[in-house]
Amino acid sequence: MKLFTVGPVMMYPETMNIAGKQLPYFRTEEFSRIVLTIEQKIKEVVNAKTDSKVALLTASGTGAMESVIMNSFDETDRLLIINGGSFGNRFCELAQIHHIPYDAIDIPFGEELTEEKLFAIDGSQYTAFVVNHHETSTGQLYDIKMIQRYCQKYQLFLIVDAISSFLADSISMDEDGISCLILSSQKALALNPGLSIVVVNSLFYERKIKNRPPKGMYLDLNLHFKNMERGQTPNTPAVGVILELADRLEKLDYQKEMEEIKKRANYFRERASKLEVILPNYPLSNALTPIILPKQNATAIFEILKRQGLMVTPSGGDLKDKVLRIGHLGNLTLQDYDQLLMALEKIMKKENPGA
Ligand SMILES: *Cc1c(COP(=O)(O)O)cnc(C)c1O
């Protein structure tokens, strides 16, 4: 089975090799050293200042999103959340659950978050801006520099979920004015699911997290930051995924990885434009290409491809029959796209696919 998904994605042999081994015990100096090296390397790849704080949470990305929302804000805050799909909506739901006032900027499918639309909103009543850099449900990539200008204008903290854009699209905590960045193991890092990473700069930590009483135990960021000082976690972490991450970061060439993903995205997009599909005209992440099926037969095509061992990413909700998403993350080659494009072309030539 070839995965053209966004997570889990095709893993590298080195990662699978590590995943197949006996785990070590983790309350040791040796393991602490591994974790501290990860902390340092993560800061380097996301261009965070050295006094930033890093937490390794044993949770999927949603756990990290929740930990940031619940550990940083309360009723006295007001968040401005970009809601352009299911992941933006998840931030709105988290704010509701944790009783944090917010307003959403809704971006209906097909529309773009433009400078005009954003700057028309008076931001003076907000404390923080919350965005999924790449809204994975639609493929839209938001302009982080534009968002940075908006946040500077109104002095807002900037919270960025870069879970699906990290390594696909360039992001820099320091240069993009990001207060808090969220990453996860199963997207472009191409590791097993279960580990998420929260990076916060020192200002955000001091002002919003440090002195706040805990609202829970497992996702308590202060507890994680405290333990991280000695390269440990408060509870048993996903030891195996941490070892996979250590290996991945040791070998990672950040620029080269981004170029590879971009090359695959461009290769697929050029050829897909010759099929009977429509590519959206809002800005796209390199992580995936959404293809709009004019005949509303996305589900049928998904099933046929799956039977052929080609797993693309289906959409949910209203987009289920309309949009398929073709992932570009992980261990994929241009030949893999040739195979997928050939299969797609064949299916679409038939009058009635799926019948
Ligand atoms: C995948 C993803 C997440 C995390 O989803 P989980 O299923 O909890 O891992 C969060 N945000 C974005 C933008 C994502 O693509």
212 CA distance to ligand 1 middle (Å): 26
Ligand 1 neighbours (beta carbon < 6 A): 7, 60-62, 87, 132, 136, 161, 163-164, 184, 187
In tens, the pLDDT along 235-267 reads 999 999 999 999 999 999 999 999 999 999 999
- Mean pLDDT across the stretch 314-329? 96
Q: For the chain, how big is the Rg over CA atoms in Å?
A: 20
Residue to substitute in 134, 184, 328 for testing ligand 1 pocket (most ligand atoms within 8 angstroms of CB) = 184
Atom of ligand 1 nearest to the CA of 62: 8
137 CA distance to ligand 1 middle (Å): 10
At 263, which amino acid appears? K
Distance in angstroms (rounded) separating the CA atoms of residues 334 and 332? 7
Task: Give yes or no for residue 352 having a pLDDT over 70.
Answer: no
Confidence (pLDDT) at 350: 82
Task: Give yes or no for residue 281 having a pLDDT over 80.
Answer: yes
Structure tokens at 353: 């696919």
355 CA distance to ligand 1 middle (Å): 34
pLDDT band at 354 (very low <50, low <70, confident <90, very high): low
Structure tokens at 299: 């589900």
* Average pLDDT over all residues of the chain: 97
Q: Do the bridges between strand 196-200 and strand 288-292 make them parallel or antiparallel, or are there none, so unpaired?
A: unpaired
Contact 162, 285 (CB under 8 A): no
- Mean pLDDT across the stretch 152-169? 98
Contact 292, 280 (CB under 8 A): yes
Confidence (pLDDT) at 57: 98
What DSSP line would sit under 87-109, residue for residue?
HHHHHHHHHHHTT--EEEEE--T
Residue to substitute in 5, 57, 62 for testing ligand 1 pocket (most ligand atoms within 8 angstroms of CB) = 62
At 92, which amino acid appears? C
Structure tokens at 173: 């905590």
Give which of 237, 234, 214, 212 is closest to 225, Cα–Cα. 234
Confidence (pLDDT) at 349: 87
Task: Give yes or no for residue 154 having a pLDDT over 70.
Answer: yes
Nearest CA to ligand 1 atom 4: 61
- At CB < 8 A and 24+ separation, what contacts does 149-157 make? 150/118, 150/119, 150/123, 151/123, 151/177, 152/177, 153/119, 153/123, 154/123, 154/124, 154/126, 156/80, 156/123, 156/126, 156/127, 156/128, 156/129, 157/127, 157/128, 157/129, 157/204, 157/207, 157/208
117 CA distance to ligand 1 middle (Å): 26
Confidence (pLDDT) at 291: 98
90 CA distance to ligand 1 middle (Å): 9
Task: Give yes or no for residue 233 having a pLDDT over 80.
Answer: yes
pLDDT band at 188 (very low <50, low <70, confident <90, very high): very high
Distance in angstroms (rounded) separating the CA atoms of residues 221 and 214? 9
Nearest CA to ligand 1 atom 5: 61
75 CA distance to ligand 1 middle (Å): 25
Confidence (pLDDT) at 355: 52
Nearest CA to ligand 1 atom 6: 61
Task: Give yes or no for residue 353 having a pLDDT over 70.
Answer: no
- Quote the percentage of the chain above a pLDDT of 90: 97
Distance in angstroms (rounded) separating the CA atoms of residues 42 and 173? 11
